[in-house]
Every structure is written in C-alpha cells, then in structure tokens.
Amino acid sequence: MKRPGYLELGRRKVFGKPVNKPLGPIEPPPDPQQSLPFSLGSWHVDPMNAYMQRDDRTVALDRPTLLILLILAEHQLDTLTTDTVEGINRDVLALRVFGGNAPAMHANKLRRSLSFLRRIFSEDGSVRILNAIGDSYVLAIGAPVAGREIPIPAEQPLRPEPQGINAWLARTKRHGLAISAASLIVFIIAGGVYWLIGRGIPLGTVTQITAFASEPGDKRSPSFSPDGKRVVYSWRQASSAEAHLVIRPTAGGSWRPVTLGMGSDEYPAWSPSGRWIAFDRTTSTDCSVFVITPDGTDEHRVGDCNFGAAGPLTWAPDDSSVTLSHRTDSSLSRQLVSVKADTHELGGITNPMIGMQGDEQPVLSASGTRLAFVRSRALGISDLYLLQHGTQSVARLTHDSWPLAGSTWDGAGYSLVFSSPRGGHDSLWRSRLDGHQPELLLGTRVDLRAPSIAPNGRQLVYEEWSRVGQLVITPLDSTTPPTALTNDSMELAREAQLSPDGSQYVYVSNRSGHDELWSLSTLKGGAAQMLTNADLDYIEYPHWSANGNTVVFSGSKAGRFDLWSFQLSDKKLTRLTHDGNSRTPVLSRDGHWLYFSKLQDRDWQLWQQSWPDGKQSKAITTDGGFAPLEAASGATLIYVRLDRRGIWQKATELSSDTSLLADDFLPLDWRNRSVDGNTLYFVSRNDAGMVRLNRLIIDSGERSQLDELPSLYDGSGLTISDDHKNIISTFLTSEHSDLKIAVLE
C-alpha cells in the first residue's frame, strides 16, 4: 500500500508518526540573499555570506543549516518557558528546507543540522534550540552561561623580526638617516631576491637521487638534524603494528632506535638547536605530543593531539615551543596552537571556521617569521596558506583544492616545497610565494610525500610510496564476498570501465612500470592485454564511446593534463588537446559530443565539444565543475566540484539550473561514482573514515545505503556490471613507503 503523502486527505505524518492536524500550505524557505544580518544572543548571523560570528569565532553554514537557522529565527522566545508556545513544526521545517522529494531522508538531514547548531550554540549557552509542543522547535535567547566565555587568545607565537633590525627601528629620530639608509639596503636586497625569483631563476634543481631507507615496512615523516648529517624518521617494521623513531646518518650506514615501548610514534621534528625531537605518540585511547633527546633519554609529555588532530609538528627557532594541530572536541575544527616545551602552556595561532576540517601540517621558516600550513574545508579539499608575523589574516598560496601531503621551506626561506596530486601522482611542487603558479620540482611515476629540506638547502628527503591494488567484483546484495578480477602482485589496477556490449573491461594499470590502458575479457580465464604505449606519467578517467570502438581518457606529462583517445579497431592513439589544462573526458550517448573539465582562472569548469571534429566548443558551467558523467536521459551531466562537498546535476545549457543530488559526497572520491540507467552509485565516508556504498534513484531522490567497502582505494573508480548486480572497484592489497634523498643544486 502506498504511503500517504504529506498533504494527502488533510493528514500528515511526522517522520512516520501520524498526526491529526493538517499541515496547510507550505511556505517557501527564506532567501538568504534577501535576508538582512541579525543577532541571536551573542551571535551575529550574516545570511548573505552564510556564516555566523561571535567575537573571534566564525562558523560557516551550509545551505540547509542556514535555512533551518533562518526559519528558527522566526520562532524566538525571551524566556525558557515553552509550555504554552508552539514553534515551528519539525515536519513543516523539513518540507520548507528540503522540499517534497525523498521524505525518508528528511529525518537524518534535519537531525544532523540541528545537532551541529546545538553544539555550536552550547559554547556560551546564549542560544538554545528547544523542543516545544506539537513536535516543534523554538529558539530560546538569553545571557551567556557563566564560565563559557571565549578565552583570550594567546600572544602571537611567531618570532618577531631579528633584534638587530628592532634595535635600528627603536633608535631616536636623530638616527633617521641611518635608518633610511639601512632600510634602503634591505629593500634593494629584498628586491633583488624577488627579481631573481620572478625571473624564474631556480632556487635549486634535483641533480641526484639515492635510496636512503628501504628496509621492509613503512618509513615516514623524515626530519633533518640542524647540521644536515642525520635524519630521524618513523618506522613501522613489517612484523610490528606499532611505529617507532629511528635515526640514520645521511651519508649512509646503520640506523639506531630513539623510542621504544607501547604506542606508535610518528611525525618527528628535530629542534633547531638539535637538543630535542618532538613527536606524536598514539595509543588505542590517547594521542600525546612528546619531546625526547636524540639519544633517547629525557622523554616527557608536553601536550595532546586527541580527536584526530595528530600530524606534523614544527619548532620555534629558539626551541621554546612546538606548533601543532589541535582540537578539544571531535565536533570542532582543527586549529594551530603553540605549546611551550617547559610550561606546557597553549597559545592559539589560527582560528578557522567551525564546520571545516581546519588547519594542519604547520611548518615554520628558519627565521620564525613565516608559518605555512594546510587549511582543509573538508576531507580532500585543501590548500596551502601562509601566516606572516605581525598580521592577523592568512594568505592563500594554492587555489586548486587538492589534498596536500607535507611541505617544507627551502634553505633560504624564499619558497615552499610541498606534495600535491595536482599532476596525477603525489609529486613535489614549489611555490615561490610571488603569485605564480607552483612549478614541478620532482615527479616520478609513484607517489612522493612528506618532503623535508636540510637547513643548508642542499638535500631533500621524502617518502616514496608503492601500492598494489586489485580489481574486485562485489555483489550489490551483500550476500557474497568480493571476487578478484586481477591478481598481479606488483600491479595497481584501477578505474575499470565496462564496454557497452559487456565483453571487456578497460582499466588503468602500472604493470608495465608506468600507467597504461589495459583490457580484460569478462569471460573467466581471459588474460589482460596492454592497449596503449603512451609513455605518460599518469592516466585517469577512461570512458567508452557508445559504439564500443573508442576509449577517451586524460593523461599528464610533467604535471600537465591533456585529453587522449584510443581506437580499438586500428590501435590508434590520438592526443586531443594541447593546452595542458584539460581532464576527465566522457563521450555522449548519441556520439555527438565530448564532455570534459577545463582549468580556467584557477577554477575547473565543464566544457562541451563536438565529436569527433572538435569544431564547436562551449562552457557548461561558470561556478565550478569537474569529472562529468552523462545521465541516462542524455544532455544532462552529473558532476562534482573540487572546492566543496556534493554531487550535482545540470543540463548542458549554460543557463540551465543546477540541482544537488547528494550533499555528503567528498571531492576526495571524485572517481568513485557510477551512473547505471536512472541510478547513481557513490561512496560516502563517516567521521571515522569508514567508506560505504550508496544508491540514489536520480528522478525520485530515494537513497539507500549498501555495503561497507573498507579496503577501497581512493582512486578506485566504480563501474556496474551489465546484469546490474555487481560493482567493480579497486581494493588495496598492500602499500609501503621508503625514503629517498635528492641533492639540490
């Protein structure tokens, strides 16, 4: 029997419970762009810019949460007595915010937003969301609760300018001429340096690479000693579940242990004087920051890194404090703080918006006047930022929103080297801090992470990752275990796509030593065959033409992406673009159009180009778009944005409206989607990182959760079998990291 709708027969249901009172006409939600700023207790709400603020605390609001807050603001109390007051009914609230589609999902969405608002308002207690009569909500506005005031921010922990310059600036006016002369010299020197940088003269190029630590197990987070003669790193041996710190000479030789005992020790950072090594220690119940001498003595705890805030550490130039990522509750954003090594006193450095993942991976320049760090708006949406001494705002250094895996200052402090997948694999890039696009410093056909440059600027140590992954077929009914389609012990196979006739898979594999397209028959026992010999650094996003004769894909060389096609009939490989800024192609079902992503003014947009002649082209989006998939109806694209959560749907006309299909999809998983007729399959991740497969009926918005995928590779890709009963993806079977050292000249 069909369940009655919200407005049928004057009856309604509140999340499944019948209520006799009819709903009546449902008002549309408020328009944030037409709503003036207003105050709630100690909070100031700015609807047009989608945030609320209290003193130095700023909270970003997604659209559903903002609409809920605006509607609740229409139902305010000046007293906590609610017995005779009817607020906004939760069923009406859900309808006004989420509309009439997929009502089964309203309860979870509404609960999630209300829980978020309640956590934020509980910080000082001046606003409370109360349950009132008639299954409704009201806002109770009052004075802040004593003892919940925002603590005064600590003194800026970045080191001031060198004392010699301060002495000059502190002199009396009679020394004005000397000050002017000194300032002129400083500006000439600085101008010369930036002129050299601006001219593109390299501050060091890689001339030699040697293996440094290649024993079995994971070697991570290397850090140079101040004299550059030793490296401390974290090593999880193959036979152990825990990692410990070891030190090895850069000239070669045996390693020696620094830490032993319970817990995993990671992210070591050698202090500038060489006296201390700071690190994180994680146990099953706790994460703490410790310092220890290089000989393994005088170990003591200086702070905590709980609630998932563990990560790289960095020292002040005088060894007085350690800067780390920190948070006091799992619902809050990570922020950078300094902890004094002797008194353990905490001092705030950054204050990101609540609602974003926050700040991490700090690295302080040798002078102590510049702090670089990673700011993440959500998992997989990250950029590099810079905080200069004496300023309150931060400068954004990268604008592509790719996840970052470590950074380090060059020896002179004029540029930053960081790990980013902007070229496909995690590679080492350099930002010159002058507004230019980052340039590729070192890229190979495997992932490079956690770079660290010696204080003299002549050596670079980094992690080199090796991964093995199999294509597996997983039944959607969750009753049968996954079955491996590939089983090469040295291969990472990913992004499989089933041919239109169901006869074969095309996928990306590094079995030959680098990425190429391979094919595998769907018949059991068929051998994999290499299709291309493209000699590209990275290949991604293969998709079939409707007639099954062509595969289009994108590939990078030296960090620059272009579109390619491969004809199966004559084995012809063709480069389609030459701009270095085109990715993720798919062909339309009618065979007339090529859809793809193109980088313009630091933003990826969706484009359409006539196929196969390429004579006509036009933009489809102006507010961001990446990795299109064509819906079953044709002329409609399903895509993601790299700068925010969600999966969107839009017709191919530039002026057409955009609709949000799923609000919890992370850009980290942009490959992990598949369209099967009118059904969208995609993955979601909870706060603990658990990956689950989801099914969404596109027309109705009906959504259901399927099985967990605990071993899913981030770059897996998804495809559905021709009988619609199985999903093909990539599960990681092993991964490990070695350390290498490069010489910079």
Q: What distance in Å separates the CA atoms of residue 653 and residue 599, rounded to the nearest whole number?
A: 19
Pick the closest to residue 459 from 736, 198, 226, 216 (CA basis).
Answer: 226
User: In sequence order, what are the residues at sequence separation of 6 or more whose Cβ sits closer than 8 angstroms to the Cβ of residue 149?
Assistant: 124
Instruction: Identify the pLDDT of residue 390.
Output: 66
Backbone angles phi, psi at 739, to 5 degrees: -110, 140
Domain shared by 364 and 218, yes or no: yes
Q: What distance in Å separates the CA atoms of residue 651 and residue 491, rounded to the nearest whole number?
A: 38
CATH number at residue 422: 2.120.10.30
DSSP 96-131: HHH-SS-GGGHHHHHHHHHHHHHHHHTTT-SEEEEE
Asked, for residue 512, whether it belongs to a domain, the answer is yes
Domain shared by 510 and 426, yes or no: no
Domain shared by 451 and 472, yes or no: no
Burial classification of residue 435, based on how many CB atoms lie within 10 Å of its CB (0-12 exposed, 13-18 middle, 19 or more buried): exposed
Asked, for residue 206, whether it belongs to a domain, the answer is no
Q: What distance in Å separates the CA atoms of residue 376 and residue 74, rounded to the nearest whole number?
A: 33
Domain shared by 491 and 452, yes or no: no
Instruction: Decide: pTM greater than 0.75.
Output: yes
> Which of 457, 482, 508 finishes a domain?
457
CATH number at residue 101: 1.10.10.10
Asked, for residue 13, whether it belongs to a domain, the answer is no
Instruction: Identify the pLDDT of residue 602.
Output: 82
In this prediction, the residues of the chain whose per-residue pLDDT falls under 70 are 1-24, 55-57, 78-86, 101-102, 147-204, 390-392, 524-525, 687
Domain shared by 401 and 476, yes or no: no
Asked, for residue 9, whether it belongs to a domain, the answer is no
Domain shared by 640 and 689, yes or no: yes
Domain shared by 614 and 549, yes or no: yes
Asked, for residue 158, whether it belongs to a domain, the answer is no
What is the DSSP code (8-state) at residue 456?
Answer: T
Which residues face 472 on adjacent strands? 484, 729
Which residues face 59 on adjacent strands? 52, 354
Asked, for residue 250, whether it belongs to a domain, the answer is yes
Q: What distance in Å separates the CA atoms of residue 304 and residue 289, rounded to the nearest whole number?
A: 5
Instruction: Identify the pLDDT of residue 332.
Output: 82
The boundaries of the domain holding residue 340 are 163-201+214-457
Domain shared by 483 and 338, yes or no: no
Pick the closest to residue 83 from 47, 131, 116, 123 (CA basis).
Answer: 131
> Which of 438, 457, 476 finishes a domain?
457
> Which of 397, 424, 457 finishes a domain?
457
Domain shared by 495 and 644, yes or no: yes
Question: Mind listing the pLDDT tens digit for each residue in 374-425?
Answer: 999 888 889 999 998 766 678 889 988 899 999 999 887 889 999 999 999 9
CA atoms within a 13 Å half-sphere pointing along the CA-CB vector of 174 = 0
Q: Which two tokens stand for residue 8?
A: 């049928």
Domain shared by 258 and 371, yes or no: yes
Whether 240 and 257 have beta carbons less than 8 Å apart is answered as no
**Amino acid identity of 64?**
P
Asked, for residue 363, whether it belongs to a domain, the answer is yes
Instruction: Identify the pLDDT of residue 574.
Output: 96
Domain shared by 75 and 175, yes or no: no
Whether 304 and 289 have beta carbons less than 8 Å apart is answered as yes
Which residues face 46 on adjacent strands? 51
Asked, for residue 256, whether it belongs to a domain, the answer is yes
How many domains, in total, are found in the chain?
A: 3
Q: What distance in Å separates the CA atoms of residue 141 and residue 45, rounded to the nearest whole number?
A: 14
Domain shared by 485 and 453, yes or no: no
Whether 552 and 542 have beta carbons less than 8 Å apart is answered as yes
